[in-house]
Amino acid sequence: MAASFSSSFSLIIFFTLLCLSNASPRLPTNLKLIPVTPHLQSSIPSFDQINAHDKSRLSYLDNLIKKTSVPIVSGRAFQQAGNYLVRANVGTPGQTLLMVMDTSNDAAWLPCSGCSGCSSQTLFTLEQSSTYKPLQCSAPQCRQAANWFCAPATSDCHFNMTYGGSSFDALLSLDSLGLAQDTLPGYAFGCLRTVTGTSIPAQGLLGLGRGPLSLLSQAGNLYQKTFSYCLPDLRATNFTGSLRLGTVGQPKRIKYTPLLANPRRPTLYYVNMTGIRVGKRFVDIPSSALAFNPATGAGTIFDSGTMVTRLVAPVYAAVRAEFLRRINLPVSSLGGFDTCFTQPIVPPTISFHFDGMFVTLPTENVVIHSSFGTTTCLAMAAAPDNVNSVVNVIASYQQQNHRVLYDVANSRLGVSREHCS
């Protein structure tokens, strides 16, 4: 009898282990990233377009201060140059929309039917979704939205926002959000009701920031507060990169730097930059120009929406001076860039050093060429003379062909080289 029981128990254990070994592991959630560029004929925006885009973007970052593998595609065929789009399915049945990926924003929003001022030809038709519902002011998500207010007649929860030089009013809503093979029911987002200005991403926006209405927060344990992206080179023939959600499929060999929390700008991904090297030489930078300071908002952030890296005045001056010394040719300016050359140059590498890691930029991430190839400029600029004058922004042009990993659960950010296109 004992032998029979032992044999049966062994068989149960065997078949249990067999079933476990045959269980399908969770597949990586990969989304294509599509870069948005203004014209199908040109591979990259003009210098003037880059400067105008970043001016609007930095104005948005200014307003963030508290005053009290999904594919990533480039939006070649769309407006809003400098952004990256992900394909999402919203509602039941799902309506396919391309949404701008934004690491410096929390709430998602969509151009919805009935919107006044929305410029997108593709709208989310909320009347066709059986799972759509507006949120009342009593909903907990309402208090999590920036600048929320109650509509007097309906008690619906609205929020408004300034984004660059534009603004919008949105109705906070719930519906299903589909990303690759994943479905997130009851996702809170803004349904745009009125839009003023032209700098609001027309296709909608998916917030990947650190706040309670961001994708990482609303997804709960599904993605374990982890994502990475690989931004494609705007000059590449294959114009897609990837957004990878969750811990599965993330690179194992990658260097990290700690993420820092700033209560004045809680959405943003701050890191501690310790120095910059041009070629083999560290440039002389005052430590105060790189220091993280929660009281003033000073420090360094990684941002997916700014196009070229912006360095605070003393940092940029030091980098520019060493870059000019290495090139030793007559310098000119063009379209907001003040370190340009009309003769062919061999630019030095530039390395950003952080606590625990450094990132050495290849030549294609250091300089940018004019549309006709007659002028080459250093693909960096000084921070604007406003609130952002204290913030160094590591921007998308310098991030291209790198895997940037945001491990919020463990409060760290990693970067490794990867061919993204």
303 in active site: yes
* Catalytic residue, candidates 102, 106, 156, 175: 102
Helices (H), 141-248: 215-218
Q: Exposed/middle/buried for 328, CB within 10 Å: 0-12, 13-18, 19+?
A: exposed
| Residue-by-residue DSSP string for 97-113 | EEEEEETT--SEEEEEE
Of residues 52, 98, 125, 113, the one with CA closest to residue 201: 98
Torsion of the alpha carbons at 172, 146, 69 and 368, rounded to the nearest 10: 130
* Alpha carbon distance 294, 265 (integer Å): 8
CA distances from 276 to 317, 343, 360, 366 (A): 12, 26, 10, 13
| Residue-by-residue DSSP string for 269-300 | EEE-EEEEEETTEE----HHHH--BTTTTBEE
Strand partners, 305: none
Of residues 110, 91, 107, the one with CA closest to residue 99: 110
Residue type, 408: V
* Catalytic residue, candidates 106, 156, 303, 407: 303
54 in active site: no
Helices (H), 34-107: 47-63
Q: How many CB atoms are closer than 10 A to CB 390?
A: 17
CA angle 221, 141, 166 (to 5 degrees): 110
* Straight-line distance from the first to the last Cα atom of the chain, in angstroms, rounded to the nearest whole number: 65
Give kind and range of the element (H or E) at residue 226.
strand 226-230
* Alpha carbon distance 290, 170 (integer Å): 37
Q: Quick check: 300 and 315 in contact, CB under 8 A? A: no
Cis peptide leading into 93, omega within 30 of 0? yes
What positions carry a catalytic annotation?
Answer: 102, 303
